[in-house]
């Protein structure tokens, strides 16, 4: 079942159906405004409804994308493949977002993100949020391709307690 921009989440959770679609990273403006230039690379997503035996409604979101990020160490762009899954509890009203947490299968329900159901949910906004949440706080290559082995060794020593990294010393010098 193909979907456009809007999804009826009540219909999805009632029927347990899945909708899926594809868009381009170039359409994710909130996401890309803080990122380096993006290719027209595909973002594919699916959203499946579910009702549990207690009558609670859930949406299973899956998002695949591959944005380009800028390495904060060497400033070169690199691809960051994302394959994210999230289970959201759907509530009927804004007030439902604030309901007390209930225990389900031994897990506090407040670990689950909640979303207000809608006959016209902007699914692409939801998809974009999921990608944003999947981005690293400080994007970095594991090993920067353009950095010499000597400097990589220095960088690994960052984890040694007490010793300031050469970069920290450098930035301190720049401040003075």
Residue numbers of the site for Zn ion (CB under 5 A)? 71, 73-74, 141, 144
Closest C-alpha to 61, from 80, 43, 86:
86
User: How far apart are CB 141 and Zn ion at their closest, in Å?
Assistant: 3
77/96 with CB nearer Zn ion: 77
Cβ–Cβ contacts within 10 Å for residue 63, how many? 22
Which is nearer to Zn ion, 56 or 141 (by Cβ)? 141
* Whether the Cβ atoms of residue 109 and residue 86 lie closer than 8 Å to each other: no
Q: How far is the CB of 76 from Zn ion (least distance, A)?
A: 5
Residue 138 C-beta: closest distance to Zn ion, Å: 11
CA distance 106 to 155: 42
Q: Which residue has the tokens 């009558």?
A: 55
């Amino acid at each position: 079942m193909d979907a456009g921009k809007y999804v009826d989440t009540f219909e999805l959770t009632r029927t347990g159906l899945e909708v899926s679609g594809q868009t381009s990273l170039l359409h994710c403006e909130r996401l890309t405004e803080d990122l380096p230039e993006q290719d027209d690379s595909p973002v594919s997503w699916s959203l499946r409804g579910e009702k549990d035996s207690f009558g609670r409604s859930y949406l299973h979101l899956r998002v695949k994308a591959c944005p380009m990020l800028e390495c904060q160490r060497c400033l070169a762009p690199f691809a960051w493949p994302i394959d994210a899954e999230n289970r959201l509890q759907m509530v009927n009203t804004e007030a439902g977002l604030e309901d007390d947490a209930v225990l389900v299968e031994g897990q506090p329900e407040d670990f689950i993100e909640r979303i207000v159901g809608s006959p016209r949910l902007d699914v692409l906004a939801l998809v974009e949020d999921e990608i944003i949440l999947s981005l690293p706080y400080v994007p970095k290559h594991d090993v920067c391709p353009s950095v010499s082995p000597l400097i990589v060794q220095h960088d690994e020593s960052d984890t040694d307690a007490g010793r300031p990294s050469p970069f920290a010393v450098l930035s301190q010098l720049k401040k003075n």
